[in-house]
């Protein structure tokens, strides 16, 4: 039965880190001036109560991982660090100049690329420059993505001294053949070393990123990877489906033969095997793709209905305003999205000219905001309450009925609830709410497969 459902629902679909999703942004009605107005309005209304979030994109990598779908710049030239950091600080100052009061920072996340490509000293200059123009929220949480092969004790210590208590290490899979295929060679001993270093320094939340659906991956690989992960007991585990979209990301994702990828039921078996083993180790499924121990704040936020999802992924707390700094970063004012230009050269040029470096975005309509709320609730809480404001929003009722008939969701007069069996298909449930997708079905080809 599960194999039949996988074949039925394994279709291209969004991951819903935003709504509307990027392919459906209305760029014609967007302008930089509209973005600045929306940013300023949200900042004025929420800074004192919620604070703001910062996502800082550090795009440099020394080598290309063939599974990666991030915007990155491959180089071994570390002399690029200092000019890039100075540009990020200039961009931050452009935003600060538009603020009506001192920003209160609740979240900072360093993403990439490879943030630990940058030296500890460079990261210190960056973060001290950011914090010099702001104050920390009383409930602040700072996090970064660390590459196990180049994250040093100095990285961990300097960032911890600046307030970072959460780190995520990209593991993917421990099998040597899989690692060679994805061009990411890192022995278990290296992951063990940096995990123990972080814990000894005082990091209170350590996450490991695992991926299923990689080339040459099979059930034996998955069991071995989870068993090794067990010995390190990370507080959180991100368990992602490999998104194979070479038509978007180009040559990087064509570094192996298509036939080497596990298909449909094979891929789902990898997920089910991993999920079962994680449950046996006391990890609780949080939202989509995420698992946490009951001692972690992500678990607490899910239980207290405070779990949030944005372009940084799942977070334990919500801010209405997230400013994206750096090449290709996406900002979110709740009523608008804006994305920075995608090359280092153009990013540095625009900022040097005193320009906020956004090149596209979307202003959310009233209808967008209603649907965004429902999709966010489905992705975070696996249920949503419908109300009269949803009457004219083109809900795909036939898809919801199919999902109900297949035992994946429960429908009542005003509630959509994703059942345990339906959690792997939560993206499909959200697709029933997506007004853009339901009227532009040809656009589905732009997304990765949902299962």
Distances (CA, A) of 65 to 113, 178, 253, 328, 373: 10, 12, 8, 19, 34
What mean pLDDT comes out for the span 175-193?
93
Nearest Cα to Cα of residue 124 among 160, 90, 170: 160
Same fold, 23-363 and 366-446: no
323 within 8 A of 338, measured Cβ to Cβ: no
93 within 8 A of 124, measured Cβ to Cβ: no
Going by DSSP bridges, is the β-strand pair 383-385/415-418 parallel, antiparallel, or unpaired? antiparallel
Helices 81-97 and 120-131 cross at an angle (nearest 10°) of 10
Per-residue pLDDT band for 53 (boundaries 50, 70, 90) equals very high
Share of the chain above pLDDT 70, in %: 92
pLDDT above 80: residue 83? yes
pLDDT above 50: residue 249? no
pLDDT above 60: residue 390? no
For the stretch 285-327, pLDDT in tens is 998 889 999 999 999 999 999 999 988 888 998 999 999 999 9
Backbone phi and psi for residue 88, each to the nearest 5 degrees, phi listed first: -60, -40
Backbone phi and psi for residue 162, each to the nearest 5 degrees, phi listed first: -90, 0
Per-residue pLDDT band for 248 (boundaries 50, 70, 90) equals very low
Per-residue pLDDT band for 210 (boundaries 50, 70, 90) equals very high
For residues 424 and 384, which has the higher predicted lDDT (pLDDT)?
A: 384
For the stretch 341-387, pLDDT in tens is 999 999 999 999 999 999 999 999 999 999 999 999 999 999 999 87
| CATH code of domain 23-363 | 3.80.30.20
Q: Enumerate the domain spans of the chain.
A: 23-363, 366-446
Confidence (pLDDT) at 253:
46
The rounded distance, in Å, linking the Cα atoms of 428 and 15 is 10
Per-residue pLDDT band for 440 (boundaries 50, 70, 90) equals low
Share of the chain above pLDDT 90, in %: 72
The rounded distance, in Å, linking the Cα atoms of 133 and 325 is 15
The rounded distance, in Å, linking the Cα atoms of 19 and 376 is 9
Per-residue pLDDT band for 388 (boundaries 50, 70, 90) equals low
**Which residues are CB-neighbours of 229 under 8 A, at least 6 positions away?**
171, 208, 210, 237
Cβ neighbours, 10 Å, residue 187? 13
Q: How far is CA 52 from the centre of its chain?
A: 17
Q: Given the structure tokens 């200039």, which residue do they identify?
A: 90
What is the edge-to-edge ordering of all strands in the sheet holding 164-172?
Answer: 284-286, 290-292, 236-241, 205-212, 164-172, 135-146, 104-112, 52-58, 322-325, 330-332, 336-340, 358-363
What average pLDDT does the structure give for the chain? 90
Quickly name the fold that domain 366-446 has.
Arc Repressor Mutant, subunit A (1.10.10)
321 within 8 A of 336, measured Cβ to Cβ: no
For residues 277 and 68, which has the higher predicted lDDT (pLDDT)?
A: 277
pLDDT above 60: residue 443? no
Backbone phi and psi for residue 168, each to the nearest 5 degrees, phi listed first: -120, 125
For residues 59 and 65, which has the higher predicted lDDT (pLDDT)?
A: 59
What pTM did the predictor assign? 0.92
Confidence (pLDDT) at 5:
83
Distances (CA, A) of 339 to 27, 39, 81, 113, 398: 11, 13, 22, 17, 34
First CA to last CA distance, the chain:
15
Per-residue pLDDT band for 242 (boundaries 50, 70, 90) equals confident
Confidence (pLDDT) at 406:
94
For the stretch 266-282, pLDDT in tens is 888 898 899 999 999 99
Lowest mean pLDDT among 59-68, 119-128, 377-386: 59-68
The rounded distance, in Å, linking the Cα atoms of 320 and 386 is 22
């Amino acid at each position: 039965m599960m194999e039949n459902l996988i074949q039925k629902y394994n279709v291209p679909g969004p991951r819903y880190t935003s709504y509307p999703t990027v392919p459906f942004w209305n760029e014609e009605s967007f302008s930089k001036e509209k973005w600045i107005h929306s940013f300023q309005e949200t900042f004025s209304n929420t800074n004192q109560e919620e604070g703001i979030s910062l996502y800082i994109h550090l795009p440099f990598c020394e080598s290309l991982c063939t599974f990666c779908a991030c915007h990155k710049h491959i180089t071994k030239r570390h002399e690029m660090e200092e000019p890039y950091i100075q540009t990020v600080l200039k961009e931050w100052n452009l935003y600060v100049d538009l603020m009506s009061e001192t920003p209160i920072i609740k979240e900072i996340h360093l993403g990439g690329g490879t943030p630990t490509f940058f030296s500890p000293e460079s990261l210190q200059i960056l973060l001290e420059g950011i914090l010099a123009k702001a104050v920390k929220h009383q409930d602040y949480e700072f996090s970064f993505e660390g590459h196990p092969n180049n994250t040093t004790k100095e990285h961990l210590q300097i960032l911890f001294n600046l307030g970072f208590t959460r780190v995520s290490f990209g593991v993917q899979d421990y099998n040597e053949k899989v690692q060679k295929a994805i061009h990411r060679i890192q022995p278990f001993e290296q992951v063990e070393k940096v995990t123990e270093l972080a814990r000894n320094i005082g990091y209170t939340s350590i996450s490991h990123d695992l991926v299923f659906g990689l080339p040459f991956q099979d059930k034996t690989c998955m069991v071995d990877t989870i068993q090794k992960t067990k010995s390190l007991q990370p507080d959180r585990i991100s368990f992602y489906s490999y998104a194979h979209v070479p038509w978007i990301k180009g040559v990087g994702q064509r570094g192996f033969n298509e036939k080497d990828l596990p298909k449909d039921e094979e891929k789902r078996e990898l997920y089910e095997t991993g999920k079962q083993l994680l449950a046996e180790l006391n990890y609780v499924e949080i939202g989509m793709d995420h698992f946490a121990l009951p001692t972690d704040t992500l678990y607490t936020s899910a239980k207290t209905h405070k779990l949030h999802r944005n372009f940084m992924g799942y977070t334990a707390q919500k801010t209405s305003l997230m400013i994206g700094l750096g090449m290709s970063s996406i900002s979110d004012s709740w009523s608008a999205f804006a994305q920075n230009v995608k090359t280092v050269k153009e990013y540095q040029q625009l900022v040097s000219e005193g320009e906020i470096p956004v090149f596209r975005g979307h202003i959310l309509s009233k209808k967008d905001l209603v649907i965004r709320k429902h999709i966010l609730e489905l992705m975070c809480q696996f249920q949503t309450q419908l109300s009269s404001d949803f009457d004219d929003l083109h809900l795909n009722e036939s898809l919801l009925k199919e999902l109900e008939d297949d035992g994946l969701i429960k429908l009542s007069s005003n509630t959509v609830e994703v059942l345990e069996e339906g959690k792997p298909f939560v993206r499909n449930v959200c697709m029933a709410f997506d007004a853009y997708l339901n009227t532009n079905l040809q656009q589905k080809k732009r997304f990765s497969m949902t299962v």
